[in-house]
Amino acid sequence: MGEFTTVGRAEEVAEGQVRPYEVAGQQIAVTRIDGTLHAFSDICTHKACSLSPGETIGTAIECECHGSVFDMTSGAVVEGPATEPVATFGVRDEGGALQIEA
């Protein structure tokens, strides 16, 4: 477990949005689903495309390059071609500050 780093303001991530951040050299995407924040690696495990610009359907996000689909809450692969899950990270709203644990 790493430490929580403030990356911005929690209100930047509106319901259903996915925003990219960089923490300790890692590209991490943050989304808000039903009010809850979730953070996951923004690098697709298939061919390293950035996931954050992709389409979302419920808790799933689809990679723009080759169509892999991941669950943003667990990192699990929902649909290939990717076979490996993306990492997930702790994320919290600390008095309005958006903090990621990495």
Partner 1 sequence: MRVGQTLVIVGASVAGGTAAATLREEGYDGRLVLVGAEELPPYERPPLSKEVLRGEEPAASAFLRPEGWWEEQGIEMRLATRADHLDPQARAVVLDGGERIAFDRAIVATGGRNRRPALPGAGLDGVFDLREIRDAARIQEAARAGGHAVLVGMGFIGAEVAASLRQMGVGVTVVEVFETALYRVLGAEMGRTIEEMHRDHGVDMVFNDTVERFAGTGRVERVVTTRGRAIDCSFAVVGVGTVPVADLMQGRGIGANGGIEVDPQLQTEIPGVFAAGDVASHDHPVFGRIRVEHSDNAVKMGQAAARNVLGRGETFDDPHWFWSDQYDTNIQMAGYAPTWDRMVVRGSLAERSYCAFLLQGQRLRAAVSMNWKRDVRRSFGLIRSQAPIEDKKLADPDVDLRTLVPAGKDA
Among 5, 8, 59, 62, binds partner 1 (CB under 8 A): 62
| Torsion angle defined by CA atoms of residues 17, 26, 68 and 47, in that order, rounded to the nearest 10 degrees | 140
**Whether 66 contacts 49, CB under 8 Å:** yes
CB of 68 to partner 1, least distance (A): 11
Angstrom distance (rounded) from CA 63 to CA 77: 11
Residue 64 near partner 1 by CB under 8 A = yes
Residue 65 near partner 1 by CB under 8 A = yes
Which is nearer to partner 1, 45 or 88 (by Cβ)?
Answer: 45
Residue 66 near partner 1 by CB under 8 A = yes
